[in-house]
Structure 1
């Protein structure tokens, strides 16, 4: 592991994810120094980061001797080859979700990183959404009793298909690869691996070329989890809804950290991670239902890169381990198989 007190970071890709999430969060994390960015649009990078080293080709960044950690935020179909090259160059690696295109590619990178003694992690930042953190607290408290159903939705209203790779007919495009990893990771962290999966991955919009709607069921022994997202929902659905034998809990809307990052705010801004949404808890007692409102805790995307720093400098566990990221890829693959074959797929 790296023994330096300062980790020098190189970022590959300066599209939406690199510009909005990775560059500002890396720069805001003590102990990390963003020293280089590889992008096909160097002028865009220099407009935001005039003092940084800019490379137009990823291999030139990988050859940079002053880079300890490489962050890959390029299109999904480049994740595996770029991460493989970074590991071969002796760099620690963070990959934006999804890890890779499939489980086979993910396991290949896992083996290579293990053999090289390098950190390999995936940016599952939505573990630090304020609504998800509140959800974890209420479920783990036991106040809702035995959980019988969990619903996680991430809906948007985007009826027009845009000309961009995320919505094109290319490998790794579509909503299942874009939002699916978030919902899968959150559910696995809370409830573990399901016994089986049933998936419906659809193209709903006129002119759609990639999945823009999904409805996936995780089957557990005594509960089910429903993961769903759509580009044609204009409102009316909760972000999370959990039903238990002693009550229920729900929250609507979305964590605001992405919006704030887009606006140029940073995690040290006053009030960061706190919004005015409230969760509702429905308590069942003696056939009576009462309602309680709860403020949400402070969200904290910066915790991910602080965890990467501590894993490398202080030998702590990675905030998202390779095993956890591999499990997400397993579910992504199995859901695609379930949809293609029109049946429930058993995992265990």
Structure 2
């Protein structure tokens, strides 16, 4: 039996995303080989890809990497307003593409790229890593097993206490029309998870807020400051389900809420974020024994309706984590098979999530419920 094909990987961008979420996982995936890095302005002694990886190829612009026949896969870790032209160029040069989230500003362009990937017979995947958060996998398990009964309300949060505006990143500098701001940055995570669980909603209402300045934002890109906070309600007419999506920067809580799921048999409460990102940012490794594992004091709670008609509160252990390694395992598998159905987060799904985001923006402008 012949050895599995090795795929040479080139990365465009050398910031936090590349260093923390991609390069370590490439090294742990047997069929992937880090080949090249694009860093526009290496800083010797502090932030230099050529110094960190002296045996690799290095470029200061994407064009040589995209044209390199030795490169099979390109990972895009640049601000979202650059994703569309970079992904399109890579696909036209017969490269497989993994693109960081938020994918791109427009669902129309997302559809274009998905069609181009099929035409070129190339994999196009979006890095929605939080599908592999252990708290989200716990929610999936509870729904799959029917523990909660019929879900009537689903509440998902990404709340923080960050009253000072962050500086120096695209998250605070790009306009909403360029996929900047909280709706695209954090909303793409929350809405992607909702899409995985429940599919497309029948109606969307949304409010975009600048909590730091204390005002409502239109969401049409005309505001001087982009929204830092979001409240959206997604409705599912067929089942009566309401999904509440909340993002805030003025959340003064000892434990930030994450999930509150109400069903006819039980409710699930969870606070705090999945620990993988903090672990990696602190210098931990994906191979560490504790990677992705939550401490027992961070487990969620189940409120269960007993046969006697009483409500009993129980600890709900977080499921055994698959971790972000699982994403890379699936991505590598899709490169080998070339099948869109094997892609862990296909571009076509990302386009659907963008339609929900666009519906939130439209509702924020009109004050009406919008069908995505």
What interval of TM-score do these two structures reach, taking the shorter chain for normalisation?
A: over 0.9
The answer as to whether partners of 2:74 and 2:98 remain within 8 angstroms in 1 is yes
Say whether 1:179 aligns with 2:186.
yes
Give the structure 2 partner of residue 87 of structure 1: 91
Note the C-alpha offset of 1:211: 1.5
The answer as to whether partners of 2:158 and 2:247 remain within 8 angstroms in 1 is yes
Q: Out of 313, 328, 332, which is 1:305 matched to? A: 328
Note the C-alpha offset of 1:140: 1.4
Note the C-alpha offset of 1:64: 1.8
In 2, Cα distance between equivalents of 1:123 and 1:299: 16
Say whether 1:218 aligns with 2:239.
no
Note the C-alpha offset of 1:169: 4.7
Q: Please, what is the CA RMSD of the aligned residues? A: 1.7
Q: Out of 132, 150, 155, which is 1:151 matched to? A: 155
When normalised by structure 1's length, the TM-score is 0.95
Note the C-alpha offset of 1:52: 2.3
* Cα shift readout 1:17-47 (whole Å, capped 9, x = no counterpart): 2222122222222211111111113342234
Give the structure 2 partner of residue 168 of structure 1: 173
The answer as to whether partners of 1:272 and 1:299 remain within 8 angstroms in 2 is no
Q: Out of 114, 132, 135, which is 1:128 matched to? A: 132
Note the C-alpha offset of 1:62: 0.7
Matches within 5 A, 1:66-81: 66-81=70-85
* Cα shift readout 1:85-139 (whole Å, capped 9, x = no counterpart): 1011110011111111111111111111111111111001001001000011011
Give the structure 2 partner of residue 38 of structure 1: 38
The answer as to whether partners of 2:303 and 2:314 remain within 8 angstroms in 1 is yes
Q: Alignment partner of 1:346: what SS?
A: coil
Say whether 1:231 aligns with 2:238.
no
Counting matched residue pairs gives: 345
* Uncovered stretches (5+) of structure 1, i.e. residues with no partner: none
Q: Out of 277, 282, 296, which is 2:303 matched to? A: 282
Distance 1:111 1:315, change over 3 A: closer
Q: Alignment partner of 1:154: what SS?
A: strand
Q: More displaced, 43-52 or 250-259?
A: 43-52
* Cα shift readout 1:125-174 (whole Å, capped 9, x = no counterpart): 00100100001101111121110000000111111112222112532210
In 1, Cα distance between equivalents of 2:233 and 2:322: 27
* Uncovered stretches (5+) of structure 2, i.e. residues with no partner: 215-223
Q: Out of 338, 342, 345, which is 1:320 matched to? A: 345
Matches within 5 A, 1:241-252: 241-252=260-271
Note the C-alpha offset of 1:287: 2.9
Give the structure 2 partner of residue 272 of structure 1: 291
Q: Out of 326, 333, 336, which is 2:358 matched to? A: 333
Give the structure 2 partner of residue 48 of structure 1: 52
Q: Alignment partner of 1:36: what SS?
A: strand
Distance 1:35 1:182, change over 3 A: same
In 2, Cα distance between equivalents of 1:234 and 1:27: 39
When normalised by structure 2's length, the TM-score is 0.89
After TM superposition, where is structure 1 displaced by more than 3 Å over at least 4 residues in a row? Answer: none
In 1, Cα distance between equivalents of 2:275 and 2:292: 7
In 2, Cα distance between equivalents of 1:158 and 1:150: 25
